[in-house]
Amino acid sequence: MGSTMCNFTALQYLPITVTTTIMFAGPVVVTLLSIPILKEKVGLRRIMAVLAGFSGVVIAIQPWGAAFHPAMFLSLGALFMASLYMIMTRMLAGVEANSTQQIWSSGIAAAALMRFVLTGWQWPEAPLQWAVFIAVGLVGAAGHICATIAHCWADASLLAPVIYIQIFQAAFVGVLVFDTWPTVWTLGGGMVIIVSGLYIWQRERSVAR
């Protein structure tokens, strides 16, 4: 719930390519959080890759330039909370049923936000608005369900790089729907994050073997 709220608020001020690029650091943050929470051992090479991934985030958000916007802190908050969500999903995978996890994660969020939803509620006015409104719920639910099932079948380290497909999806949607082209800084930072994340993924698989 926290990650979604931060991300939706950030999208009011930032291009979708920027918010998605920041979220690419998820595997890097998950690696860091797995040390104190899951008691996993992380070697020097993965620590260096984590630092490289962090530098990619810095490149993407440009805290030194005019393109920096305070809403980027919301994206960083969304990144941290989403990473916590993935850590807890890893802890519960194979322990609790998929339906149980979805009811708790979605049900608590819906109950907590219902008051704010009803206060400012406006019904969709056009068929296209209805279609998008319903699609958001269906696609969001399907994504959570598929992610939970995937964590029951495979290690999180194996699944983590799948998120990098979103760089192409975000760029396509940004141009097609919002007429927003990714900047050189966003693409450059995204590439640094992807390389570091793929190295962490490869390193974890090598250690596991």
Distance of CA 150 to CAs 104, 159, 198, Å? Answer: 18, 8, 19
**3-class state of residue 88 by DSSP:** helix
Contacts of 55 (CB under 8 A, 6+ apart): 192
| Domain locations in the chain as residue ranges | 2-208
- pLDDT > 90? residue 80: yes
Distance, CA of 23 to CA of 63 (rounded, Å): 17
- Of the CA atoms within 13 Å of residue 168, those in its CB half-sphere come to 4
Look at residue 134 in the predicted model and tell me its pLDDT: 92
pLDDT tens per residue across span 88-109: 877 887 787 777 877 888 888 8
User: How many degrees, rounded to 5, is the angle at CA 32 between CA 192 and CA 95?
Assistant: 120
Look at residue 192 in the predicted model and tell me its pLDDT: 79
Average per-residue pLDDT in the chain? 79
Beta-carbon neighbour count of residue 98 at 10 Å? 17
**Any idea what DSSP says for residue 38?**
S
- pLDDT > 60? residue 86: yes
Q: What is the mean pLDDT of residues 46-60?
A: 73
Give the chain's radius of gyration (CA, Å).
18
pLDDT tens per residue across span 117-152: 888 788 888 999 999 989 988 998 888 788 778 877
b/e per residue, 46-78, with b = 16+ CB within 10 A? Answer: beebbebbbebbebbbbeeeebebebbebbbbb
Contacts of 3 (CB under 8 A, 6+ apart): 77, 78, 79, 81, 82, 85
- pLDDT > 60? residue 27: yes
- pLDDT > 60? residue 157: no
